[in-house]
Amino acid sequence: MPCLISVVSSLLFAGMSVQAVTVSLSGTVRKTGSATGLSGVNVRLANIPGLTATTDTDGAFSLSGSVPVATQPRHPVSFRFVIRNNSVLFFTGRGRVIRTIDITACSGEKVGSYHFSDRTAMPLAVPLSSLIPGIYLMRVTVGVESFIRTIAVINKGLVLCDRDYTSLSSRAFLSAKQAAQEMVDTIIAAKSGYTTKRVPVDTYNKQDIVIEMDSGCTIGCSREGLECAVARYLDALKAGNPGTMPLAPDAQYIVNDRTATLAAGEGLFAAGLPVDFYRSMIDLDSCATFTEVICASAPHQYVLGVRLDVDDSLITKIYTVETDEGDWLFDADNYLTVSRRENWGLVPEAERLTREQLDLGARAYFEFWGDKDFKVPWGDPCARLEGGMGGYDGKLRDEYAGGTTHWGSCSVGVPEDDMTLRIKESLVDRDYGMVVLFLNLGGTDSHLYRIIKDESLLPRTGFDYGIRYVHTLTEQR
């Protein structure tokens, strides 16, 4: 049965008065899980809307100045709360306006913030169905005054409590209550493409504030939607929490062709991984992505090849080629150095190859392994990066030179003996001239190609386009 509680709180109003408040707040805004600052973020205060700032190229912001703030004298106001269908309904006396309602977990983390105007119809409804079981603090602000109530979520049911939970021994709860009571304002950080972040502050004089913002994009099968899927995966990897990704209920997680456990504290998500560099390709026809992820600054280095499949705005499959120390020619530091200097930029529309040209061009590379007379669209120059080894440009040799250890040109250094390989799948990105092939070379393997238009190659190779780069990742255990 719903819990109905009336609360009389000594909140003071009547005639307005104005006093000057000195503000000195500064810090940095960054993307969740990243150490890099986020530029172009609008930062402001909820209670002092005229004071704003925009983060610079390093993500730094500063809110400062002496500003007038309206205050009100005291007289009592009655409030009534009703729990109904996992929402809290608020009723106030005539002429009394609730401005904000903040929900804070016992850990001290702010999990919800609701803002109202004097035009908001009564009763005010705050939906709390997303809260997991636990105890929360509800802070209601009217003008510049506020008070605290306690909410308990028990077996997915919502209870507004009149019990004194401050008697609990939980130090985290007491800290959370104190923090909620002492909040003087809320910093609001907003940027297009990101979820607006609200951070409570207990003083107007505070430095070194760190605000982390989550990507607020929508996953789908457009380029923007698939780039969003990649962003959400990277955010989860950095945070060590796959639960932040929008996953299908039956989403598959496969690492090196073996089904793996997708959970915080497990495998690649055992702890947050720093992402030093990544490069993605988007296959619109397949509604899938492939991303090279380089974690060279991590205590345990990784270079990953990650495929994401998307359906109905959810990630349905995460397929990962995981390489680290001991895998084929592994060198994360050089993989990072080479990847940063290479140009895999957008191909001008008039110069884009067809999907068939890109796919067959990449597959021809492996046809050559089985038949040294097979015609391949070699580029000139061409650079191959294998696990981190190589990556320097080499001039095209018109004839195959078997037995050489020279890795600079993509046309040499392949196995001398004829080998027939089965390619499992491929993805193609026409806009960027990129193809990835998935196969097994004694272990899970990905070969990523950049193939671009070059009419000067036609007399030599029979193709007016060529392979510019090849990146390979091979598990070797």
Give a three-class secondary structure readout of 284-322: CCCCEEEEEEEECCCCCCEEEEEEEEEECCEEEEEEEEE
More confident residue, 410 or 428: 428
- The secondary structure element, H or E, covering residue 332 is helix 332-341
Is 58 domain-assigned? Answer: no
User: What would the pLDDT profile of 111-169 be if each residue is shown by its tens digit?
Assistant: 677 766 655 666 667 766 666 666 677 777 765 556 677 777 665 555 555 444 433 44
Q: Greater confidence, 112 or 233?
A: 233
Claim to verify: residue 79 and residue 196 sit in the same structural domain: yes
Structural domain ending residue among the three candidates 192, 213, 234: 213
Highest mean pLDDT among 119-128, 222-231, 384-393: 222-231
Distance (Å, whole) CA 101 – CA 118:
14
What band does 458 get if pLDDT is binned at 50, 70 and 90?
A: very high
CATH number of the domain where residue 232 is located: 3.10.450.50
- Same domain, residue pair 186 and 238: no
Higher-pLDDT residue of 169, 361: 361
**pLDDT score, position 460:** 84
Q: pTM of the full predicted structure?
A: 0.59
* pLDDT score recorded for residue 373: 81
Start-to-end Cα distance in the chain: 60
What pLDDT was estimated at residue 75?
Answer: 44
Residue 218 confidence (pLDDT): 84
pLDDT tens digit sequence for 365-379: 988 887 878 888 988
Residue 84 pLDDT greater than 80, yes or no: no
Same domain flag for 146 and 112 = yes
Contact of 176 with 165, CB cutoff 8 Å: no
- Cα–Cα distance between 120 and 122 in angstroms, integer? 7
Nearest Cα neighbor of 465 from 389, 371, 337, 358 is: 358
Examine the domain organization and report whether 127 and 207 are in the same domain: yes
Residues 182 and 293 in one domain: no
Please report, rounded to a whole number, the percentage of residues in the chain having pLDDT higher than 70.
69
d(CA 233, CA 29): 20
Residue-level pLDDT at 176? 47
Contact 446, 430 (CB under 8 A): no
What is the average pLDDT score of the chain?
79
Q: Is the pLDDT of residue 430 over 60?
A: yes
Residue 10's pLDDT band (cuts 50, 70, 90): very low
35 occurs within a structural domain: no
* Confidence bin at 43 (pLDDT 50/70/90): very high
Mean pLDDT of 440-449: 94
User: Of 213, 243, 265, which residue is a domain's last?
Assistant: 213
CB 210 within 8 A of CB 27: yes
Q: What is the pLDDT of residue 33?
A: 63
**Does 449 reside within a domain?**
yes
**pLDDT in the model for residue 435:** 98
User: pLDDT category, 37, cuts 50, 70, 90?
Assistant: confident
Do the beta carbons of residue 311 and residue 250 sit within 8 Å?
A: no
Q: How far apart are CA 209 and CA 63, in angstroms?
A: 11
- The pLDDT tens digits of the residues spanning 254-312 come to 999 999 999 888 899 988 899 999 999 999 999 999 999 999 999 999 999 999 999 98
Tell which of 260, 291, 324 closes a domain: 324
For the cut 50, the answer to whether the pLDDT of residue 170 exceeds it is no
**Residue 175 and residue 170: Cα distance in Å, rounded?**
9
Task: Give the whole-angstrom CA distance, residue 401 versus residue 149.
Answer: 78
89 and 196, same domain (yes or no): yes
Q: Supply the range of the domain harboring residue 245.
A: 223-324
Evaluate whether residue 31 is within a structural domain: no
Q: What is the CATH number of the domain that holds 370?
A: 3.10.450
Q: Does 298 share its domain with 358? A: no
168 and 82 in one domain? yes
Rounded to an integer, the average pLDDT of 195-220 is 84
129 vs 88, which has greater pLDDT? 88
| Average pLDDT of span 10-22 | 51
| Confidence (pLDDT) at 94 | 55
Does residue 333 lie within any of the structural domains? no
Strands 389-390 and 378-386: antiparallel
358 and 317 co-located in one domain: no
Q: Is the pLDDT of residue 407 over 50?
A: no
291 and 361 together in one domain: no
Residue 4's pLDDT band, with cuts at 50, 70 and 90, is: very low
**pLDDT, average across residues 341-350:** 92
**Residue 20 confidence (pLDDT):** 75
Residues 234 and 281 in one domain: yes
423 located within any domain = yes
Query: What is the pLDDT at residue 133?
Result: 63
Q: Round to whole Å and give the CA distance between 420 and 329.
A: 22
Q: What is the mean pLDDT of residues 91-120?
A: 64
The amino acid at 201: V
In a domain, 470, yes or no: yes
Range with the lowest mean pLDDT among 177-181, 289-293, 322-326? 177-181
315 and 189 together in one domain:
no
Cα-Cα-Cα-Cα dihedral sign, residues 330, 333, 339, 342 = negative
CB atoms within 10 A of CB 195: 13
For 52-65, the pLDDT digits (tens) are 999 998 999 999 98
**Number of separate domains in the chain:** 3
> Where would I find the beta strands (DSSP E) of 155-268?
157-161, 185-190, 197-201, 205-213, 247-255, 258-259
**Residue 322, both tokens:** 């995981």
Site of tokens 């061409």: 382
- For residue 8, CA distances in Å to 3, 11, 51, 139, 151 come to 16, 9, 34, 14, 17
Residue 168 in domain = yes
